[in-house]
Amino acid sequence: MIEKFINIYLPAFFDWMIETSIMASILVGLILCIKVLFRNKLTPRWQYMLWIILIIRLVLPWSPDSSYSIYSVLTYKNDDAFISRGNPVAKFLSKESTQELKGIDDTKVHTKEDTYTSSSTKTVQTNKTQAGINEKQEDETISFYTICMYIWLTGVILLSVTTFIMNRRVLLYIKKQPVITDEKIVQIFEKCKQSMYIQRNIPLFVSGKVSSPTVFGFIRPKLLLSTVHMKILDEQQLRYIFYHELAHIKRRDVGVNWLMHGLLILNWFNPILWYAYSCMREDQELACDALALTCIDAEEQIAYGHTIISLLEHYSSYYQVPSIANFSKNKRALKRRILMIKKFKKKSYRWSAIGAVAIIAVSSVSLLNARADKPTNPEKQQIEVKNNVKELKTKTDIPIQQIVEKMIGTKEQAEAEFFVSEGDYNTLLTELGVARNLFTKEEFDRFITLETEAHILDKKVRQVGSPEKLDPEEEKKYEKNSEEIGPFRDKIHSHFRLTKKEAQKYVDFPTKTPSYVVKGFKLTGEGVTTPMTTGKMNPDFIYQYQNESKDNVYIVHQSAVTDDVKEFSNIKAESNEKVTNYELEGTKITLVESINTEETFKEMQMIVPAKGKNSAYQVFIMAGDLSKEEIEKIMLSFLK
């Protein structure tokens, strides 16, 4: 689990975070431009809302593509941007990656897939061998990437620990401070709460070393006030301070600060985002001033501004943590606040058309990802895929495992990137192994190309929900791919469609139709299924019996004994099952039966040992309401 996290999930998260950080940096530039162009048109409330878009962009795990996205500046006229370390399909399509395959010895990969298993020991061993080869080939790239990733991770851990320790210190310090009990101050505070329609309980604490009025905490906020301010501020000034701090609580600024600080920890290497955070905190103070000014008369605005200035005379930045919303002593920010307070009008805090348009416009171009295929030649990527895959397939000594890893990565990568299960991954290995033996070189080349395109398109379908939701061009590609790959897959599967007579050539035991038929039942179907394999075929002879009322069936299987078949005798019972192993006339029997009266089933397996030239084989019966004795009679009919 740890290895999977380090090798798959951590790099995937790191790649996403780097990409998101770059997009967020572009968004910061856009926001700053909007603020400059419309500085006299956008009120503080709307300017602060622009930074909320940045936070949303940083936390979005995925967003739909759009040709109108501002991130189109990141796309290029060639497909090189598609080739990245974290994309195994991109590497497969890269000409550089095809050069890595030179010099690899001819190694055949044999996998076996039957109806009772989804993996094999040989495949696992081959995976490990090929993984070692890949590591050596890509040592330089991986080592540099890994160094960068671990430097980033170290920074994240250090900043997280530092933030936790500092916040813990502040919390413990505040818990030691006394509650303010001055009736005059408490009454003023309660009146301010009523004016701002705040009903939650907010305790008042003496701030001690925290010199400026401060809100601490998000879930259970506390308001801190120093003894100095309680002495020098009159009733009117206290009211201004309380309005400002209650505005922080009403607007949930501490929670926003915590979220942004957490995102900064992940993006600690990006100075643009640190600058953006500083600008956001300035706009946050302006927005709180604007909300506070709506609660006082217009004649009191100048007095409110003087109160802010007088507070900064006693300001100290002894504590600065994300759980605190306090004053800023930045001269530029102070100048902006005084100008805003001077020009403030109550109607300016309301929703405005220009503010809404700005938010919608910025969101539309920044919360959608760039559509990579729009600015490029639509046919170029398909041609390059074809050329690169063709170059790869000209090397006939490449193991199947290596080809699959270049298509969709290792098992873990395929599951994380393309939602390919372990069983489907093993099936693909086997399918390509069979295809190499069945197809001509040109057919095999084309099949590999189509399989690669199919996985890329399937991933896009999963992202949008269904093929119909793809854009028209990609939907056509999807339909064309499905139509063209169909005959190839039919050719593979038809190779394993055998008649009973043909199947007998592949087995070393006598095939028999059960001579005993349960009373009331008759044979309604028989056939052969052959699991796909690159080795010797292992046909499964199947006989189906049904009663006259057609409400009950039992199915009989006869096939060779394989390693997977032997494991059936060691099966562990589920909560509603009972497993019994015993002998019947010298043969080993395993019976699995339900103990749930609502759902009745029985499965019995008999291993017939090898005798003379005949190899061992198994008989497997799946039945519903048949008794144990009846099933045993069917089994014994094979021995006669």
Closest among 353, 349, 280, 351 to 27, alpha carbons compared: 280
Q: Residue 1: exposed, middle, or buried by beta-carbon count in 10 A (0-12, 13-18, 19+)?
A: exposed
pLDDT (0 to 100) of residue 43 = 83
Please measure the distance between the N-terminal and C-terminal CA atoms of the chain and give it in whole angstroms: 52
**Contact (Cβ atoms closer than 8 angstroms) between residue 607 and residue 588:** yes
- The stretches of 120-226 forming alpha helices (DSSP H) are 121-137, 139-175, 183-195
Give the span between the Cα atoms of 466 and 459, in whole angstroms. 10
Mean pLDDT by 10 residues, the chain (640 residues): 76 89 93 86 86 93 74 50 39 37 35 36 38 43 77 95 90 86 89 90 81 82 83 85 90 92 95 94 88 84 80 54 57 67 62 77 81 46 50 63 87 85 90 91 90 90 83 90 92 91 90 91 92 90 90 90 67 76 88 76 87 88 88 89
For residue 371, give the 3-state DSSP assignment.
coil
pLDDT of residue 162: 93
313-340: per-residue pLDDT in tens? Answer: 555 444 455 656 555 555 566 667 777 7
Helix (H, G, I), strand (E, B) or coil at 432: helix
Nearest alpha-carbon partner for 57 in 38, 84, 29: 29
Q: According to the model, what pLDDT value does residue 569 have? A: 61
Listed in sequence order, the residues at least 6 apart from 433 whose beta carbon sits closer than 8 Å to its beta carbon are: 108, 109, 110, 111, 400, 534
pLDDT at 86: 40
Contact 531, 538 (CB under 8 A): yes
Looking at residue 575, what is its pLDDT? 67
Instruction: Give the span between the Cα atoms of 250 and 119, in whole angstroms.
Output: 57
Radius of gyration of the chain (CA): 36
Q: What tens digit of pLDDT does each residue of 272-292 get?
A: 999 999 999 988 888 888 888
417 touches 408 (CB < 8 A): yes
Domains, the chain, in order of start with CATH, read: 101-135+377-494 (no CATH), 502-637 (3.30.200.100)
pLDDT of residue 462: 83
What pLDDT was estimated at residue 482? 92
pLDDT value, residue 260: 94
Contact criterion met (CB below 8 Å) for 247 and 196: yes
Each residue's pLDDT tens digit, 122-156? 333 334 344 444 444 444 445 688 889 999 999 99
Task: State residue 377 phi and psi, 5-degree precision.
Answer: -65, 120
- Return the SS3 of 434: helix
